[in-house]
């Protein structure tokens, strides 16, 4: 839990200040019964009016002090808990941002969302209640016992019996409740996952008519949470009545014993009244601790889950070498030297013995059947994963030595699945270059062949983009994603099957515009459509994670049977040989 408590460190001075005011609040609370005891024991009421005023003023001042300390301590507790919660959320977000794709797979999206929201809220609530009760309760309990003993030692023996009984009840139930709260958080993850899949896949669900099946999946996940919550609720329902029974029974025994002592003149009425007040304070401070024990088990589970996120280190890290953007001379030159990659839980390498060089300014296409490792190859260049063997160099430098932000500054990436963010069209394009001018945004849109539909959209570049870009077609989203990469004007373009949703005419126009406007930059295109890559300077043909052939289209068409079969499955032999390199 070390990482979680590191987030709490900046707030320790404020917590100490809160403790100080809480201590003042408790002292005022403890002093009031003693003051009342003096008034009753000394028979002040009805005798000396000045004494009544004096004691009344004391009580008023103590009450005002109590109120002031209570207000300030609550204010500090609220500020600390809110700040701690905000810092935890920020730390989780920053940590998740540093993860490689391997860590994202290790922790599901739904679980990360639950940990950032629900779990942090549990910890935040515990911090708030701890500062208000956990500090105040022990002071009131210990102080109340001391003050009660000072009034009458014999009656104080009641605490020797009652307090251990209460703590045994609390600890026994806490032991049974903790596993239930652990299960509850896990099942909350599952419910979030089902809801997320339902919302993301709503079109597929409706198209296949599986709404009833999905409803059953949701009902099962929801029922699991209901069952666990009910079990925890039953145990919590037992806790409070048991505690209240012990407290009320103790009060009855106290009154019975106290009245007997008053009859024997062994205790004064004022002291008996004060003792009753102290006993109530002691017992209710234990009740406050009981309420905290309701929250602590669930919060402990949440702290552990948050700590798992904060302690999980990314498998992709900066080497710490001070290499700047300007230190890399040939930014577009990429070399794969015996590069191999295998997932940690995989049985076979996804890519092996990758040896090739892409020179600055070249256009290189990567083809291969599904599962041959095309996307993984681009992920290695971006350092979404690191090679498990061999090297990848850019500009003669091992990419593991290049700071990640410098490496990715050189690259314009267009993913296989177009991703748009809520906002405007302009904001989505400027995502590639935050300080891009309106002219640069427009130019990128023209090159990406998206200017026509942008101009037809109400608001044009200021038109709203729904979450996930659901108000645009697949082809429109792809073109906006391409424009986002173009506006960056990078040294290396990575297109991961980024033209698949475009019609042939738009595809051709876009490629022609790219050839004219990105000269000098290295372009790597992963494609399924052969017509997209016929005129590439070099084609890498992958099969089972290995390069079985590389070269220009004409050379591969003549010498590689597997490549030839793929080409002829899409276009005629005449089209394959016409105007191709």
Helices (H), 201-210: 202-207
Where in the chain are the domains? 2-311, 321-410+494-501+535-581
Q: State the pLDDT at residue 47.
A: 56
Give the whole-angstrom CA distance, residue 496 versus residue 498: 5
Q: Residue 531 corresponds to which tokens in the numbers above?
A: 């017509």
Q: What is the pTM of this model?
A: 0.74
For the segment 42-56, what is each residue's pLDDT rounded down to a tens digit?
A: 655 555 667 667 777
Residue 353 to residue 389: CA distance in whole angstroms: 9
Going residue by residue through the chain, which has 581 residues, state the pLDDT in tens, using 9 for 90 and above: 778 888 888 888 888 888 888 888 888 887 777 777 766 666 555 556 676 677 778 888 888 988 898 899 889 999 999 999 999 999 999 888 888 878 887 777 778 888 888 889 989 988 888 887 777 888 888 888 888 787 777 777 877 888 888 878 877 877 777 788 778 877 887 888 888 777 777 777 877 778 888 888 888 888 888 888 888 888 777 877 887 888 788 878 877 877 777 777 777 777 777 777 788 888 778 777 777 777 777 788 888 889 988 988 888 888 778 888 888 888 889 999 999 998 877 778 889 988 999 999 898 999 888 888 888 999 999 998 889 899 999 988 899 999 988 898 899 998 888 888 888 999 999 988 888 898 999 999 999 888 888 988 888 889 898 877 888 888 888 889 999 999 988 999 999 888 777 777 887 888 888 888 888 889 999 888 787 778 888 999 888 888 888 888 888 888 888 888 888 888 777 777 765 55
DSSP strand E in 436-506: where?
Answer: 464-465, 492-496
Provide DSSP, 17-32: HHHHHHHHHHHHHHHH
Beta bridge partners of 348: none
Instruction: Using DSSP, state whether 542 is helix, strand or coil.
Output: strand
**Other C-beta atoms lying within 10 Å of the C-beta of residue 327:** 12
Residue 349 per-residue DSSP state: -
Residue showing tokens 């000098």 = 520
Could you tell me the CA-to-CA distances from 149 to 115, 268, 278, 409 in Å, in that order?
Answer: 47, 14, 10, 72
* Helix 12-41, helix 49-98: angle, nearest 10: 160
**CA angle at residue 468 from 462 to 472, to 5 degrees?**
60
Q: What pLDDT, on a 0 to 100 scale, did the predictor assign at position 86? A: 92
DSSP tag of 468: G
What are the backbone dihedrals phi and psi of residue 365, each rounded to the nearest 5 degrees, phi first?
-110, 145
The answer to whether 498 touches 469, Cβ cutoff 8 Å, is no
Q: Which CATH number fits domain 2-311: 3.40.190.80, 3.40.50.720, 3.40.605.10, 1.20.1560.10?
A: 1.20.1560.10
pLDDT tens digits for 164-179?
A: 888 788 778 777 777 8
**546-551 and 492-496 strand pairing:** unpaired
H or E segment and range at residue 392: strand 389-394
Query: Which helix (H) or strand (E) segment is 58 a member of?
Result: helix 49-98
Domain 321-410+494-501+535-581 has CATH 1.10.510.10: no
Whole-number pLDDT of residue 271 = 74
Contacts of 121 (CB under 8 A, 6+ apart): 85
Q: How far apart are CA 383 and CA 392, in angstroms?
A: 10
Q: Residue 38 to residues 53, 58, 148, 356: CA-CA distances in angstroms?
A: 14, 12, 14, 94
């Amino acid at each position: 839990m070390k990482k979680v408590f590191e987030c709490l460190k900046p707030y320790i001075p404020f917590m100490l200040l809160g403790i100080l005011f809480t201590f003042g609040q408790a002292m005022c609370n403890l002093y009031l019964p003693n003051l009342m005891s003096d008034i009753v024991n000394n028979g002040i009421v009805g005798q000396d009016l000045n004494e009544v005023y004096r004691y009344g003023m004391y009580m008023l001042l103590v009450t005002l002090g109590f109120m002031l300390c209570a207000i300030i301590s609550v204010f500090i507790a609220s500020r600390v808990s809110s700040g701690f919660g905000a810092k935890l959320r920020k730390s989780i977000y920053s940590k998740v941002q540093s993860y490689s794709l391997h860590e994202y797979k290790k922790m599901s999206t739904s679980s990360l969302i639950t940990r950032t929201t629900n779990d942090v809220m549990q910890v935040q609530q515990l911090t708030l209640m701890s500062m208000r009760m956990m500090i105040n309760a022990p002071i009131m309990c210990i102080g109340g016992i001391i003050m009660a003993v000072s009034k009458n030692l014999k009656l104080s023996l009641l605490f020797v019996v009652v307090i251990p009984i209460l703590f045994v009840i609390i600890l026994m139930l806490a032991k049974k409740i903790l596993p239930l709260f652990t299960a509850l958080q896990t099942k909350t993850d599952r419910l979030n996952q089902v809801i997320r899949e339902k919302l993301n896949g709503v079109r597929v669900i409706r198209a296949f008519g599986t709404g009833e099946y999905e409803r059953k999946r949701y009902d099962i996940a929801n029922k699991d949470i209901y069952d666990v919550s009910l079990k925890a609720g039953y145990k919590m329902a037992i806790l409070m009545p048991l505690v209240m029974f012990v407290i009320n029974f103790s009060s009855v025994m106290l009154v019975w014993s106290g009245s007997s002592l008053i009859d024997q003149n062994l205790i004064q009425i004022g002291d008996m009244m004060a003792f009753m007040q102290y006993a109530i304070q002691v017992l209710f401070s234990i009740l406050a601790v009981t309420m905290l024990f309701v929250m602590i088990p669930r919060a402990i589970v949440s702290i552990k889950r948050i700590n798992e996120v904060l302690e999980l280190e990314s498998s992709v890290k900066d080497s710490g070498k001070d290499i700047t953007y300007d230190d890399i001379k040939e930014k577009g030159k990429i070399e794969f030297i015996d590069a191999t990659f295998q997932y940690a839980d995989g049985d076979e390498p996804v890519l092996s013995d990758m040896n090739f060089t892409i020179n600055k300014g070249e256009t290189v296409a990567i083809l291969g059947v599904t599962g041959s490792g095309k996307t993984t190859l681009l992920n290695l260049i971006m350092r979404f994963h690191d090679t498990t063997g061999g090297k990848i160099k850019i500009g003669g430098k091992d990419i593991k030595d290049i700071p990640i932000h410098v490496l990715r500054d050189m690259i314009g990436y267009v993913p296989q699945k177009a991703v748009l963010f809520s906002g405007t069209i302009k904001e989505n394009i400027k995502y590639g270059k935050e300080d891009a001018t309106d002219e640069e945004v427009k130019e990128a849109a023209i090159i990406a062949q998206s200017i026509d539909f942008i101009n037809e959209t109400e608001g044009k570049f200021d038109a709203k983009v729904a979450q996930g870009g659901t108000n645009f077609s697949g082809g429109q989203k792809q073109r906006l994603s391409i424009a986002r990469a173009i506006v960056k004007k990078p040294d290396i373009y990575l297109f991961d099957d980024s033209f698949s949703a475009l019609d042939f005419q738009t595809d051709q126009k876009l490629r022609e515009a790219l050839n004219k406007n990105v000269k000098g930059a290295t372009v790597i295109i992963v494609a399924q459509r052969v017509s997209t890559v016929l005129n590439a300077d070099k084609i890498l043909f992958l099969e089972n994670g290995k390069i079985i052939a590389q070269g220009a289209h004409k050379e591969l068409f003549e010498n590689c049977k597997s490549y030839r079969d793929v080409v002829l499955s899409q276009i005629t032999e005449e089209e394959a040989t016409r105007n191709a390199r």
